[in-house]
Amino acid sequence: MMTYEQLLAALAEKKDETYRQFNERIVNVPAGTSIGVRTPLLRAFGKELVKGEGFDLDALLAFPNDVFEVRLLKCFAVGYKKMPFAEKVRYIEACLPVIDGWAVCDLFCSTLKEIAKHREEFLPHIEAYIALGTEFSQRFGYILLLGCYMAEEYLPRIFTLLERAHTQYYYTHMGAAWLIAEVLVKFYERGVSFLQTTALDAKTVNKAIQKARESYRLTDEQKNFLKLLKK
């Protein structure tokens, strides 16, 4: 397993300074706290890293969290490393403190494809993340629901968990709105019923409606009706 300094040097070989300056604004990290490695390159690097001789996931997770790409690489490695699912759950939870922004959160979620095969087993963990009530523990839960649980049998649980959203936090608010919008697109009538009864604040309801109305998967009639539900 390479040292932290060796890891930074390996990542620096893949840096793109123009991209770094652009991406730091997009992912909302302080200037100079990223290297500038494009996500596809970082994903490829992560896949090779976990397959390498002597790779130690615990050692990687113990590295400092000062650099954006290192935080993201930790999450990628947890997703890519082959292990029993119960063990993977423990590593997912070990990464929760690493999630400090929408980009790390959402890219981590998109890497955890295994969860879709273990929905019932993992659902209590999502409930626990949302119960923590922090901005990114909740967003993490909502984006996982969006990516792995968008099926009719999970709608009652999704609606219950949405009511627990601490939408005073911007990225929780946006994650909840995105999840509602996806429900509206996939299960329009159920989504409308939720909007008509939810205690969620106006800004989240309205953002969900906005995002749903931007979808090409709804009819003009459906979009016009949604506009009437704005608070």
Tokens matching residue 1: 């397993």
Query: Is residue 35 assigned to a domain?
Result: yes
What are the pLDDT digits (tens) for 173-182? 999 999 999 9
Helix then strand then coil, in percent of the chain rounded to 5, is 70, 0, 30
Residue 156: what pLDDT?
A: 97
Residue 8: what pLDDT?
A: 97
Question: What is the average pLDDT score of the chain?
Answer: 96
Residue 1: what pLDDT?
A: 87
Residue 198: what pLDDT?
A: 96
- Angle at 173 (CA atoms; ends 169, 175), nearest 5 degrees: 120
Residue 96: what pLDDT?
A: 95
Query: Is residue 45 assigned to a domain?
Result: yes
The stretches in the chain having pLDDT less than 70 are: none
Query: Is residue 69 assigned to a domain?
Result: yes
Per the CB < 8 A criterion, the answer to whether 185 and 217 are in contact is yes
State the total domains in the chain.
1
What global pTM score does this model have?
Answer: 0.95
Query: Is residue 17 assigned to a domain?
Result: yes
Query: Is residue 70 assigned to a domain?
Result: yes
